[in-house]
Amino acid sequence: MLKRIFIMLAVALAFTIPSQAISIQELKSSPQFKVIYEVTPDGPNADEHTTWYLDTKSIEVLEYAPPMYKIKATVYNAYQSPRKNVIYSDSWIVSYDTRLSLASQVYRAKQAGASLTTVIDAAQTKTGMTGTEEPLGKFSFDGQSLPVQVKASTRAIVRMAPNTTRYDIADTLFYEAYRMHFEDVVVK
Q: What is the DSSP string of 124-181?
A: HH--SEEEEEEEEEEEETT--EE------EEEE--SSTT-HHHHHHHHHHHHHHHSS-
CATH for 38: 2.40.128
Give the whole-angstrom CA distance, residue 162 versus residue 136.
Answer: 25
Q: Is residue 56 part of a domain?
A: yes
Residue 169 vs residues 15, 74, 124, 131, 136: alpha-carbon distances, Å: 26, 11, 17, 10, 17
pTM more than 0.95: no
Q: Is residue 3 part of a domain?
A: no
Q: Is residue 1 part of a domain?
A: no
Q: Which domain holds residue 130?
A: 19-184
Q: Is residue 7 part of a domain?
A: no
Q: Is residue 138 part of a domain?
A: yes
Number of domains in the chain: 1
Residue 28 vs residues 31, 32, 33, 82: alpha-carbon distances, Å: 8, 10, 7, 19
Q: Is residue 10 part of a domain?
A: no
Give the whole-angstrom CA distance, residue 175 versus residue 181.
Answer: 5
Question: Mind listing the pLDDT tens digit for each residue in 122-177?
Answer: 888 888 999 999 999 999 999 999 998 888 889 888 887 666 889 999 999 999 99
Q: Is residue 6 part of a domain?
A: no
Question: Mind listing the pLDDT tens digit for each residue in 80-98?
Answer: 999 999 999 999 999 999 9
